[in-house]
Each structure stands twice: as C-alpha cells, then as structure tokens.
Structure 1
Amino acid sequence: MLSGELATVLSLAAAVFVGASTQRISGMGFAMVASPFLVLVLGPHAGITLVNLLGACSSLMIFVQVFRQVQYKKVMLILIPAMIMTLPGAWVAARVDGPWLSIGISLMVILALVSSFLIRNLPAAQGKGLAIGAGAVSGFMSVTAGVSGPAIAGYAVASRWPQREFAVSVQLYFLVLSCTSLLAKGGLPQLPVGQWIGCFAAMVVGILLGNYLAPKIPPKYSRVFVVLIAFAGALGLMIEGITALAGR
C-alpha cells in the first residue's frame, strides 16, 4: 500500500474510532465527531454518506448488546414525529439557502439546549408534548443539516432522562434515522477495499473501548459530555454557515 493511501486509511480510521467510542460512552456524537474529518478526506457527498452508513452500523452494534434495556415506548415517542418531520425538512432544505439554514438551525439548537436547563424542574418537562416536539425538531434537523443529536440531548436534559438509560435507548433512534437517510440518498460511497476495512475495524475497536469505559464513567460526567457534544455540533453548524456566506 502506498504511503498516501495508508495515510488516508489511518485518517479515516482515527475519526471513526473516536466517533464510535464516543457514541458508546455517551449515547451520541458519532456524526458530530467523525463527519468533519470524513468530509475533509472524502469530500461532502461521500463523506456524509459514509457517516450515515457507519453511524447506522455503530448504532446497530451497540443496540444488539443493550436491546433489553431500551425504553421502546419513550423512543417511539420521539422517533415517530422525527420520521414525519423528515418530509417537510426535505422540502425546506430544497428551497432555503444552505448557509442561512445552517445558521438558523444552530441558533435554535443553542436556544433549545439553554432552555432545557431552565425548564427541567417544570412539570411540562416530563410530558409527552416536549418529547414529540424534540423528536420533530431532531427529524427536521437530520434532513436539513445532517445533525439530529442536539435536540434529543436537550430533551434528555430537560426531562431528566437518566444518562445510562438514554445512552442505550437512543441507539434505536439513531439507527432508524441513519437508515432512512441512506435510503433517501439511494447509494453507498465508492471506496477502496483498504478504506472499508480500516473504517469497520476502527468502529469495532472503538465500540469495544466504549464498552469498557462506559460503566467506569459516572453518569453525571457522561451527561456533561453529551451536552458539550451537542453545543459543539450547533457551533460547528453556525461556523459552517458563516464561512459559506463569507466565501461568496
């Protein structure tokens, strides 16, 4: 293998490894951690499609280990409105200018995350309405911005969803949304065999590391990590939109 090809494989594997271990420890973050690096190496279309595929595989691998612990009713409450909102999300994404859409969504996410800390002591935070609303916003964002986690993280904070239960339950949610996105795009990226092997090997090792670390990390620290990842995703979207506007 040539040195350039080896460097590409190692770059992809490193991003996937960190994303997979983050996903297993905190319950989310694969796309937000891995996608910037995968897009940088492979380009926007192939990079995002690979993120969708590996995100689905990562969630599936975690889900089959923890499916008995998943709170299915709670997941369905956010998943159904999320899937419904992918339809208007696709309509908006096709008509609204990309940079402005990214900036608007990032502002909404930051506002939602901040508000989640303010309303978590209110009775409404435990109701179905907030769950349905969070799912709807997340599904809308998954199509328009490729990021569905921050809205769900805000709901987890507001509703005081225990971190360990949240981390295993949302794997089903991310699995379904990732598969939906793959079906909508209608194809897989064309990569050399070495890159496929490197990505999937890194994903397995990352999840194994996450399996080892997850029980050792106190839930309160994992929850802080989730919130930080969500804020980072929102800020990344904002920077991406502002950079795109500045480059015109």
Structure 2
Amino acid sequence: MEWSFVVALVALAIGALAQRTVGMGFGLVVTPTMVLAVGPVEAVLVVNVFGIVACAMIIGRVWRDIDWRGLVWLVLPAIALTIPGILLAQASDADALKVAVGVLALVGVVVSAGFAKTERSLDGPPLRMASGALVGALNSSVGLGAPVIGMFAILSKWDHRVFAATMQPFWILLSLSTVVSRQLVAPGGAPPWEWWMWLVAIAPVLVGVLAGERIAARIDQAMARRAVIVFSLLSGIAVLVTGIVGLAS
C-alpha cells in the first residue's frame, strides 16, 4: 500500500470528523492532502465522492434538525451555478482566480465575524440564494465553497445544530451535481486506485463520523460558531496559498 494512500485515509477520517462536528470542513481538510496524494484534477473527484459518503452517513443522525425550506433556497442556485463555475475555471488563470477568491473570502469572513458581535442578523431568501449561487460557482471552479457558507451562517446567526444538519443534504446534492457536471464538461480525472482501495477508504470516513458524533454532543453554540469562523478562515487561506504557490511555480 502506497504512503500517499495511507495519508489520504487519514485525511478522510479527519475531514469526516470535522463535517460531523461543525457541519463543514470536509473539503478544507481533504482537498489539499488529496492534491498531493493523487493530483489536483483527481482530487476533485475523490473529495466530492467521499464528501457524499460522509454526509450520507451523517444525515440519518441529524434528520430531525434539517431546515428543508432553507436548504431549497441555498442548494438550487448552488446547483445552477455549478457548470458556469467549471467554465469560469477553464476560461481563466486558475491560480490567479484562487488568489482573488482567497483574498475576498478572508475579507468577507473577517467582516462577517465583526458583524456577528452585534445583535443584528441578516437572513432571507435573497441572501440565501446569493450565498448558494456563490458557493456553487466557487466549489466547482476552485474546489472550496466553505468560506461563503460559513459567512452566511455567521451573518444569519443560524442555530448551529440546524446549520450542521442542513449542510449534510446540501453538500450531498452539490457534490453530486459537481461530479456529474464535471463528467459532462471535463470527463475523466479518476485516481489510479484499485477497486478495493475505494472500499477501504470508506472505513476512515465512518471512523471520523463516529468520533465527530461524540464531540458534537459536547460543544455549545458559542464554541460551534467560533469553529465555523476558524474553518472559514482556513478555507480562504488554503485557496489563497494554493493560488500563490501556483503563480510562483
């Protein structure tokens, strides 16, 4: 078994733990590791496929807390912007796009975190549709839409238990859309794994979900919101650094 596959397994476990605990973070943890382990193009397929697996394992445990109406406002525009996001990535300098997105994401998260200290909140269909559309475009173009969904959660002061639950069907539907859209627009991109390696990789995802289940039961709203801010900032930094490294090479 290659070392790169072992590293990938560890990343999948940690990513699944973050996804269950915070409601986001799978892509943030797994994407950079998968880029190194299997390559940037192949990483997109692996992250989306196992993101679906992780969320599918979680969704039954949080079903009662899902905000289905809020989900519709977010996920429909996200799916609608998936193919335009792929086309944007193909038509522009990918690394320059990542730098721009990373800078905007960091500024947005910082401003949102400052807003969160006030008593006000922003929510409603227009903001949800705009957030969903931006997440869909960024997820399919640069591989990370977490900063935007994090900003929305912060601005709307969404109850964390409901947010974490609603993110499971959201990422399932968006990841499915991304996988299908990429195969239509840019076919291929699977890593050179044997069939049994795909099955083995499910195990660490399950371990991460079960570990996250215990942690999720012990964190309060304030801690959860801080975790969302941290994950959103780290996502923005990851995109920014990846873009800078790409431009410098």
TM (norm. structure 2) is 0.91
Structure 1 residue runs without a partner (length 5+): none
* Amino acid in the other structure paired with 1:82: A
CA contact (8 A) 2:58 2:168 kept: yes
Is the aligned partner of 1:204 residue 2:200? no
CA deviations 1:147-166 (Å, max 9, x no partner) are: 11110110000000011110
* Equivalent in the alignment of 1:178: 175
Is the aligned partner of 1:81 residue 2:77? yes
Counterparts of 2:113 and 2:8 in 1: how far apart (Å)?
35
Counterparts of 1:202 and 1:67 in 2: how far apart (Å)?
22
Deviation at 1:135, TM superposition (A): 1.1
CA deviations 1:128-179 (Å, max 9, x no partner) are: 2222211111111011111111101100000000111101111111111111
Alignment match of 2:43 (pick from 47, 52, 72): 47
Deviation at 1:10, TM superposition (A): 2.5
Deviates more, 1:219-228 or 1:86-95: 86-95
Is the aligned partner of 1:103 residue 2:104? no
Alignment match of 1:233 (pick from 228, 232, 235): 235
Counterparts of 2:130 and 2:248 in 1: how far apart (Å)?
33
Is the aligned partner of 1:92 residue 2:94? no
Structure 2 residue runs without a partner (length 5+): none
* Equivalent in the alignment of 2:137: 140
Deviation at 1:87, TM superposition (A): 3.4
State the superposition RMSD in angstroms: 1.8
- Identity percentage of aligned residues: 27
Counterparts of 1:138 and 1:16 in 2: how far apart (Å)?
22
Counterparts of 1:162 and 1:85 in 2: how far apart (Å)?
26
CA deviations 1:100-127 (Å, max 9, x no partner) are: 1101111221222122234455867123
Counterparts of 2:7 and 2:64 in 1: how far apart (Å)?
35
Counterparts of 1:220 and 1:192 in 2: how far apart (Å)?
43
* Equivalent in the alignment of 2:123: 126
CA contact (8 A) 2:65 2:161 kept: no
Aligned partner of residue 126 in structure 1, secondary structure: coil
* Equivalent in the alignment of 2:166: 169
Aligned partner of residue 231 in structure 1, secondary structure: helix
Alignment match of 2:19 (pick from 12, 17, 23): 23
* Amino acid in the other structure paired with 2:176: C
Alpha-carbon distance change, 216 to 109 in structure 1, aligned in 2, over 3 angstroms: same
CA contact (8 A) 1:9 1:194 kept: no
* Equivalent in the alignment of 1:116: 112
CA contact (8 A) 1:9 1:198 kept: no
Counterparts of 1:27 and 1:51 in 2: how far apart (Å)?
16
Question: How many pairs are equivalent?
Answer: 243
Alpha-carbon distance change, 213 to 198 in structure 1, aligned in 2, over 3 angstroms: same
